[in-house]
Structure 1
């Protein structure tokens, strides 16, 4: 193992220790997973009791069952910001960079641990939400995991949440202050972005925002309002992730802690 690989392993171990000792992180993630699954049960039951109202070519039972994902999205945004911005807010970043002077190693070790945690939570949450919602819908409108696009959409939900968390971490690395980062990300992803996407002219650009592109990963039915499919949605989301991560690294390397 080279010196840099050993440094990365040590840095990742330290980042894992920081993250797993924060009990609030695990309680928050667990609550988000349970609430997402609970909303899936609620929405699935609504479809099951009112099948005639939902029947039609535009109805996407998979995406509809993922209605509670907004809770998970909010959670991963907060986690991504907290993991990066928290150290800047408390001043712990100086001690971390003293222990790991190579800022590139430090940055990617931190994000690797964050990504691993997000995948570990998002993947079972995605499957739990899917099976819960489809079971509650009944046989008339539900789909199975083997139906066209269903398995891909479930994986897409996990990918979407993971990359959204990394985008949030990258933005927090640029802005450094958790409150400032959240004041940008939360309105953009949960309020302003949806409004912009519905406006003529502006909407054609807003539809390429990361959270909207991520929605395409979770869909099995085409949406005429979004002019691209799941594959393009993944590329767009990866582009946003790469840009945010790169920007965070540039700021970390060029500015004092």
Structure 2
């Protein structure tokens, strides 16, 4: 069994490497996250002297450096969707499932390879983003040894990884790249923001995967009324990921290729 899993893992690695679009999305995620984070950090540095006292009290230099992550996660979502749905759009899924009839092994291998690749890229991106952002903030920067900072930086990498795996679960359910992106993009960039910023739905929005998961990247939590802490938010996001993968696997077992 171990030999079979090893062969499937190598096969999934080959699939990812051979499709340029999936590899490029990881590069785009890193560049966008780092560049936008540096730009916003520089702008915040210029405006810090004129900030109201209330804003200075809530100022979180670590979280400011991650300002580009909201856009960078777009590329990670695309990566997660393409890793799964490319096989459906090209018809290769029939060949893949014929070669690996154990669908649990098939999905496990795909998620493992793509998830580990996303984890490496996300962690490197998160640390570079932090150090570049703090350099741009200059005298207002946080230090890695400050309480909560290292947790936030590591959390940034974990957040991007879970976004990727969640997208893979949704893509496994929907199979179509256009349909998957058509659901995920509005969900993260429209629905989540609306629910999180409208007073009547703010409590519901706090339990959505992106809003809960982003808590792990925050160090300063002045006026934060969330009913959970950084790791509590991360656990909520992880539950969303598990649910998406479980639903995707259930449908994969029932449906024909």
Partners in 2 of 1:168 and 1:32 — Cα distance? 15
| Counterpart in the other structure of 1:42 | 39
| Counterpart in the other structure of 1:208 | 207
> How far 1:235 sits from its partner (Å)?
0.7
Q: In the TM superposition, what whole-angstrom CA distance separates every residue of 1:179-203 from its partner, at most 9, and x where no partner exists?
A: 1111111001011110111123322
| Counterpart in the other structure of 2:177 | 178
Runs of 4+ in 1 over 3 A off after TM superposition: none
Corresponding position: 1:19 with 2:16: yes
Q: Unpaired runs of 5+ in structure 2?
A: none
Q: Secondary structure of 2:56's match?
A: coil
Where in structure 2 are the equivalents of 1:34-183 lying within 5 Å?
Answer: 34-54=31-51, 56-139=56-139, 141-183=140-182
Partners in 2 of 1:81 and 1:253 — Cα distance? 19
> How far 1:88 sits from its partner (Å)?
1.5
> How far 1:25 sits from its partner (Å)?
2.2
The 1:200/1:49 distance shift into structure 2, 3 A limit, reads: closer
Q: Which sits farther off after the overlay, 123-132 or 219-228?
A: 219-228
Q: Secondary structure of 1:226's match?
A: coil
> How far 1:35 sits from its partner (Å)?
2.1
Q: In the TM superposition, what whole-angstrom CA distance separates every residue of 1:193-249 from its partner, at most 9, and x where no partner exists?
A: 101111233221121111111110111112525332101111101100110111111
> How far 1:165 sits from its partner (Å)?
0.6
Partners in 2 of 1:10 and 1:176 — Cα distance? 24
Partners in 2 of 1:198 and 1:38 — Cα distance? 26
| Alpha carbons 2:170, 2:180 under 8 Å: kept | yes
TM-score by length of 2: 0.94
Partners in 2 of 1:175 and 1:182 — Cα distance? 10
TM-score by length of 1: 0.94
Partners in 2 of 1:90 and 1:26 — Cα distance? 18
Partners in 2 of 1:120 and 1:229 — Cα distance? 25
Q: In the TM superposition, what whole-angstrom CA distance separates every residue of 1:100-137 from its partner, at most 9, and x where no partner exists?
A: 11100000000001101101111110011100010111
What is the number of residues matched between the two proteins?
253
| Alpha carbons 2:16, 2:23 under 8 Å: kept | no
Q: Which sits farther off after the overlay, 51-60 or 183-192?
A: 51-60
Supply the RMSD in Å over aligned alpha carbons: 1.3
Partners in 1 of 2:50 and 2:151 — Cα distance? 26
> How far 1:31 sits from its partner (Å)?
2.5
Partners in 1 of 2:230 and 2:41 — Cα distance? 23
Q: In the TM superposition, what whole-angstrom CA distance separates every residue of 1:80-109 from its partner, at most 9, and x where no partner exists?
A: 111111211221111001111110000000
